[in-house]
Amino acid sequence: MLHFGVPVTPLLSAMLYALLGGVTIPLGGLIARFENVRSKWLKEELRHSILAFGAGALLSAVALVLVPEGIERLSPAPSIAAFALGGLVFYGISRWLDSHGGASSMMIAMLLDFIPEALAMGAMFTAQSNMALLLALIIALQNLPESFNSFCEILEKGRMAAGRILLIFVAIGLIGPLAAWIGFTLLSTHQAALGVVMLFASGGILYIIFQGIAPKVPLKNSLAPPLGVVAGFMFGLIGQMLLS
């Protein structure tokens, strides 16, 4: 297959999918960069709704892709162990971040769930390209609100200039193709290891949702923001039905 004169191999396609998932990281930061947008109509209800949408997208990745695909590759005991370990590791990381100020905790959490998802997506591409595309789309959906909120949090803490934050976000986005390459070349031939990565990521993502994201969604005198969770999960569900 050729695209603009360049042969598009399955490996290159997997890396491009990962780039698609990662490009929304700097995009979310760029949207939040505009002070007049951030401080006015995105400050309250819509900002909470965007954050909730990201939680729904993360939840759809766990429920529709990572857990179902992971348990197919492992027996029950290793599945449970990998899932539990993911939650415990992310708990430990969160404790460490809190003890060191936590200014960039959302950014690090975004990186921690993006890497295993990109690894899994690259590995899945060899046998299930449709599911890999679905995971790439879900990753893109979740990274946009995560990076938006992360940018706002870091900037409000006053620890880092806006331009530097955006450069870091670009670097994080570029890690995705590297992780997809590793997943494609190494994990695709080790299905048990791939299952471990998927379930480990699932446990960690669920911890992030209910420790760092869900508590920030409710807004006083408004019941609308949690609908963002429904919308985020719905987009993942639509993709799953269309591509399966």
Q: How far is CA 204 from the centre of its chain?
A: 11
Q: What values do phi and psi take at 103, rounded to 5? A: -65, -35
Q: What is the pTM of this model?
A: 0.77
Residue 225, pLDDT > 70, answer: no
71 Cβ neighbours under 8 A, 6+ residues apart:
79, 195, 199
Residue 242, pLDDT > 90, answer: no
Residue 43, pLDDT > 60, answer: no
Amino acid 139: pLDDT: 85
Mean pLDDT of 37-50: 58
Residue 60, pLDDT > 90, answer: no
Question: Do residues 56 and 233 touch, judged by C-beta distance below 8 A?
Answer: yes
The amino acid at 44:
E
- Tell me which residue of 161, 112, 123, 117 sits closest to 141, measured CA to CA: 117
Residue 197, pLDDT > 60, answer: yes
Out of 31-35, 59-63, 169-173, pick the least confident. 31-35
**142: which 2 tokens?**
């979740």
Residue 233, pLDDT > 80, answer: no
Q: State the chain's mean pLDDT as an integer.
A: 78
Amino acid 2: pLDDT: 43
Amino acid 1: pLDDT: 44
Confidence of residue 181 (pLDDT cuts 50, 70, 90): very high
Residue 208, pLDDT > 70, answer: yes
Question: Do residues 168 and 158 touch, judged by C-beta distance below 8 A?
Answer: no
Crossing angle of helices 45-60 and 227-243, rounded to 10° = 40
Question: Model confidence over 143-180: pLDDT tens digits?
Answer: 887 888 788 878 877 767 888 889 989 998 999 999 99
Q: What values do phi and psi take at 8, rounded to 5? A: -95, 100
Question: Do residues 34 and 149 touch, judged by C-beta distance below 8 A?
Answer: no
Amino acid 4: pLDDT: 46
Measured distance CA(118)–CA(127) in Å, rounded = 15
